[in-house]
Amino acid sequence: MRRLAFSFRLRLDFSAPVQKHHYTLRCLPADAPHQRVLSAALRVEPESRAVTSADACGRFDFGCIAPAHTGFEALAEGCVLSALEEGETAAPDWQLGPYRMFTPLTAPGPSIRRLNEELAAGTQVDTLAAGIMELLRDRFVYLPGSTHALTTAEEAAVALRGVCQDESHIMLSLLRLRGVPCRYAVGYMLGEGSTHAWVELLHEGRWIGLDPTNHRAVGDEYIRVSVGRDAGDCPVNRGVFFGGASQVSESTVRVWEAQSPDGSTEMRRERK
């Protein structure tokens, strides 16, 4: 169990002024059996009043910026107590259908099925998951910029390169081929970088997190922000606006062990 403070910053730059910008952000975590949120705050510029809500995927904040603007920035900060339990109790079996079904991003094709043939047949869930992570560790090349947000598991399996989203989608596809309920998770990891994705699978009635990119179980270094069937359910930012503009986005994440319950001392130091 750790007390983890986090800071997430998102910056959007528009090529021309836009207005009536409606945004939805999934960047702040929510309480769950494995984590407790000690503090959480969101600041948006241009200044906007964000409304907080929640759905099956987690917490989200939404709002609207009516005046014309050429930039948008969101800063999310907080502190979480992590790894309170090993896994979250799953819903009754009859409610798990969405996590058994393929989606457009996880549907298997010939390359996924060839990978599936390399895995031992009839294995238990834990050894199956370990086998998938070993296969990805040996065959998959982590290469930022080689894929995009809409790259499917099959496309990533053809090239066997990409980022954490792609490895997670391949793992979801392989698990669902064997009938294992599983879901896509997004959040933050201890250190500096960007948002991270991993897989949660159902094992003995509980959701267990596995990180195929780092070939390990999800533990006290992780903060979960959202879960869903695939990456399409868990976008950090989604929005619409009026104006003929293109946009460039940039985001950064920092997670560190906090000394105070809300991580406030470290957060003030970071902003200097």
272 has pLDDT over 60: no
102 has pLDDT over 80: yes
Distance CA 115, CA 36 (A): 38
Q: What is the mean pLDDT of residues 120-133?
A: 86
pLDDT of residue 271: 37
The better pLDDT of the pair 124, 189 is held by 189
pLDDT of residue 264: 55
> Tell me: the pLDDT tens digits for 138-189?
999 999 999 999 999 999 999 999 999 999 999 999 999 999 999 999 999 9
Can you tell me which residue has the tokens 């200044």? 47
Distance CA 191, CA 81 (A): 16
Q: Count CB atoms within 10 A of the CB of residue 15.
A: 12
Give 40's strand partners: 78
pLDDT band for position 268 (50/70/90)?
very low
196 has pLDDT over 90: yes
> Tell me: the pLDDT tens digits for 201-220?
999 999 999 999 999 999 99
Q: What is the pTM of this model?
A: 0.92
Q: How far is CA 118 from CA 168, 174, 198, 250, in A?
A: 18, 11, 22, 38
Query: Mean pLDDT, the chain, as a whole number?
Result: 93
